[in-house]
Amino acid sequence: MKTRNNTLRDTLYQANWHYITLSAMIIITFFTMCFTTKNFLSLANLNVMINNFIMEAIMALGMTLVIITGGSDISISGILPFVSIMFAYMMLWGVPIPIAIILGIVLGGVIGLINNWLRRVLHIHPMIVTMAMQLTLRGLNLAITGGSVISGFPETFQKLVNFHPLGISLPIWIYTFLAIFFLVFTKKNKFFLKVYFVGGNEEASRLSGMKTEWVLRFVYVVSGLLAGLAGVLSTIVYNSASYSYGQGVELKVITAVAIGGTSMTHGGEGSIVGTMLGTLFMALIYNAFVQSGISTYYQDVFTGAMLIVAVLISEALRAVKKRHTLQAKA
């Protein structure tokens, strides 16, 4: 009987209560909205809900890897509009659209590479480096556009704007592909697994012969590439480019990742599954704000509050698991 109780207790401790709690919150929010909001389940509203948070969802995949290594990337809110603007200008300059798309995404990756180089050379926390890059790009975006919206693209671009395979927007298709890719490779690919090792203990990883700088360079480049992709997709979705795109997006992305269970204080913890759940929960809540007619000013209040709650829950669960591990060893 005692052994059975111990087994049950071990099973309960080993269960991922963060995912269980988050999934329950998603289900409760979903059904609450179903019963309290008339048009919540309409295809039009569901389409709006997903598309309004799809750019954040794409960038959250890369942010997950960055935070798992113990870093952060604030620059994504500068990269997104910068790439959007440069992609728009390239089309106006006559650059073929496929090449402009590739160059735009690569540009985001180059900025991610610069972020990592500055982090390594200056020996300062990535948050400071990427914040400086964010501010630099914001000023550059405004200087380039003069505060104006860029539009008037070639007719061939309009076909891409109106391209909705099976009635589903292009960003959703791309996010689905990327999510599957990250889900598979973060579980099975050895290089992706190194991200967790470096985040768990960078010094130990280095001493074991692991090329930690390669890993860190990889995650910041991936984050930049996905932010660049979001910038290109923003131009496609809105059929324009503006310096104002992506304002405050870094907080939404980081909050979604934190809500998904990726530790903001300890590296080596987190998953793409958790980030997907966190993104879905955020999308539901923001749609609830819109459907309920609550002022959008309170969205920032909610984002900040949820970030604090996510960190507290993560730390509490970590403490419980640590205590159970010590008791089991004793």
Structural domain contains residue 190: yes
> What pairs with residue 241 in β-bridges?
150
Instruction: Name the DSSP class of 165.
Output: G
Q: What is the mean pLDDT of the chain?
A: 86
pLDDT at 317 over 80: no
Residue 38 within a domain: no
pTM score, two decimals? 0.90
Domain count, the chain: 1
Highest mean pLDDT among 18-22, 118-122, 229-233, 274-278: 229-233
CATH classification of the domain holding 54? 1.10.3470
Please check whether residue 157 lies inside any domain of the structure. yes
34 within domain boundaries: no
Is 81 among the domain residues? yes
| Best CA proximity match to 284, nearest among 45, 121, 117, 89 | 45
How far from 4 is each of 7, 13, 17, 114, 296, CA to CA, in Å? 5, 14, 21, 55, 51
> What is the Cα–Cα distance from 279 to 30, expressed in whole angstroms?
14
Residue 244 lies in a domain: yes
Q: Kindly write down the DSSP assignment for every residue of 113-133, as one continuous string.
A: HHHHHHHHHHT--HHHHHHHH
Condensed to tens digits (0 to 9), the pLDDT of residues 15-49 reads 566 788 888 888 988 888 888 888 888 888 888 88
Q: Tell whether 15 is covered by a domain.
A: no
- CA distances (Å), origin 229, targets 5, 107, 197, 259, 287: 51, 10, 27, 23, 24
Instruction: Quote the tokens at residue 57.
Output: 């969802």
